[in-house]
Structure 1
Amino acid sequence: MRPVTLPAPGRGQDLQVRVTAPTTGSGMPVVVLSHGATLTMDDYAPLAAHWAAHGFIVVQPTHLDSLGLAPDDPRTPRVWRIRTDDLTGVLDHLDTIEAEVPGLVGRIDHDRVAVAGHSWGAQSASTLVGARVVDADGTPGESMADPRVRAAVLLCLPGTGGDDLSPPAAQHFPFMSPDFSELKAPSLIVAGDRDQSPLTVRGPDWFTDGYRLSPGATDLLTLFGAEHGLGGIQGSNDTRTTDENPERVALVQQATLAYLRTSLGLDAQAWPAAREALTAAAEPLGRIDSK
């Protein structure tokens, strides 16, 4: 169902979300999915549908940066922070979502909540599990961690800032300077080994910093041959995928579902079984590192 409109005082515009949920079942966990730059709540539909088909309620907000904010809009310098507010706003209004979506009343498990995101959306989602943005003086900023969030799936999570940023990124995206030391909730990092970003002077390993530097990122799924679209996880609405690969997209769907099921306490064997299956494959599409 879309759009479901949620109040967002101080944002300048109400928050609109897309909700994908199974037609039957109860006690369903929630995943709040944050989109990448210029995308909307209508992207990543195949991923959202896969999770929903296996018992999850997926809520996708459209962030302000996709609504054509002018450079001189007073909200523009804070749009990264407003993204986090969008995600916490969804959690604040789960009761509204439950009431607005036909047939959803009484079916949400409010104690099993995860966040997910791709690219800029991964950075936004990571703040709810403890990542902080480093201030101009080099100190980590305020914590925006939300105790309601029990796990995260972070796809193409941008790495550290400072000297690792390209000059354009340092100029236009000063908030892209994370500190991962307090990211403590169980998190899966997914990265492509050919994801060469114009945002960094480093190579694809930049997208693995969240795994290396945070205590909560328990696992890293590295996809062989994958670029920033990870095979096309954004779906058919986004034509920028440069590494189209349905098998890779299917692996992302299956692996993230398994991680969510285990990290939220639904099936202790789902993630171990997914790791074992990937390791045993004759021609694996990636590898999983764990700590």
Structure 2
Amino acid sequence: MQTRELEFNRGGDRALPTKVWLPAGSGPFPLIYFSHGLTSQPDDYAELLSAWATAGFVVAGPRYPNTWYEAPQFNADDVVNQPADAQFVITELLTALAGTVDPQRIAAAGHSAGAITTVGLFSGSRDERLKAGLLIAGRQMPQPAPFTGPAAPLLFVQGKLDETVTYEQAYGAYNEVTWPKGFLELPQGTHLPHRDQPAVVAETTTDFWRWTLTGDEAAKDRLPQDAAKGGVAGLSSTF
């Protein structure tokens, strides 16, 4: 695995420097687009994103201009503009990494405000290129819109003890999804379930990507067992 830094700009003050984790081999590989949370940046999720890349996925995460931890003009409300940033960066990645990524196999993931951004990509700012989505501590956008467009499997990962995005908010968003969906619940998990139980979250989400982006039915069948390892989490789903 190796990494690259790419520079994108959507215009004005919306610079979107993007870190890319690249798997070994020649590809083309599926692309997972990742959105960070408030006061964060892509490298804060390096352990999880590296696990996905090692499993054979290109993973790309931008640093959003007004919500990362050193933003000159930090503004949490700017999350409403991030779905458009995401669509722009995905388009740019398909050009910058032509031949390395497969444009027919794209998914989106995110944590906290990044998961809210991801929800936007499947609702009010629907990007129909996306085949699947992962929401870690996610809820609806500030002005909710219905999930829309072609059905895409969605997996929610939620700590029961999360006080930032509550269990009720996450489950409320989950209930609005009419597509194949799963809810990975960590009873002792906080707002950072991927750090509370990194092995379980990495293994379950990686098999989710293997199923949704490569058609691996054996990976789909492993999901309940992945989630149950160690007795720290459980999966409910309509997969």
Tell me the distance in 2 between the aligned counterparts of 1:178 and 1:95: 29
What SS class does the counterpart of residue 270 from structure 1 fall into? helix
What SS class does the counterpart of residue 115 from structure 1 fall into? strand
For the Cα contact (< 8 Å) 2:161–2:188, is it kept in 1? yes
Long gaps (5+) in structure 2? none
Please name the residue that 1:118 is paired with. 111
Equivalent positions of 1:61-140 (< 5 A) are 61-64=62-65, 65-66=67-68, 67-70=70-73, 76=75, 79-98=78-97, 106-130=99-123
Please name the residue that 1:43 is paired with. 44
Equivalent positions of 1:217-228 (< 5 A) are 218-228=181-191
For the Cα contact (< 8 Å) 1:25–1:55, is it kept in 2? no
- State the identity as a percent: 25
Q: Give the root-mean-square deviation of aligned CA atoms.
A: 2.2
AA of the residue aligned to 1:112: R
Equivalent positions of 1:186-201 (< 5 A) are 186-197=153-164
Tell me the distance in 2 between the aligned counterparts of 1:277 and 1:39: 28
Q: 1:14 to 1:278 in 2, by over 3 A?
A: closer
Tell me the distance in 1 between the aligned counterparts of 2:31 and 2:20: 10
More helix by share: 2
What SS class does the counterpart of residue 152 from structure 1 fall into? strand
Long gaps (5+) in structure 1? 99-104, 131-142, 160-174, 233-244
Shift of 1:2: 4.4
Shift of 1:61: 0.3
Q: State TM-score, norm by structure 2.
A: 0.88
Please name the residue that 1:17 is paired with. 18
What SS class does the counterpart of residue 102 from structure 2 fall into? strand
* Count of aligned residue pairs for this structure pair: 233
AA of the residue aligned to 2:122: V
What SS class does the counterpart of residue 150 from structure 1 fall into? strand
Pair 1:179-2:148 in alignment? no
Shift of 1:24: 1.3
Greater alpha carbon shift after TM alignment, 21-30 vs 251-260: 21-30
Tell me the distance in 1 between the aligned counterparts of 2:37 and 2:179: 22
For the Cα contact (< 8 Å) 2:200–2:226, is it kept in 1? no
For the Cα contact (< 8 Å) 2:33–2:108, is it kept in 1? yes
Specify the structure having the higher radius of gyration (Cα).
1
Tell me the distance in 2 between the aligned counterparts of 1:223 and 1:278: 9
For the Cα contact (< 8 Å) 2:48–2:194, is it kept in 1? no
Tell me the distance in 1 between the aligned counterparts of 2:194 and 2:211: 24
Please name the residue that 2:233 is paired with. 286
Equivalent positions of 1:139-218 (< 5 A) are 143-158=124-139, 176-182=142-148, 184-197=151-164, 204-216=167-179, 218=181
Tell me the distance in 1 between the aligned counterparts of 2:60 and 2:7: 12
Shift of 1:128: 1.2
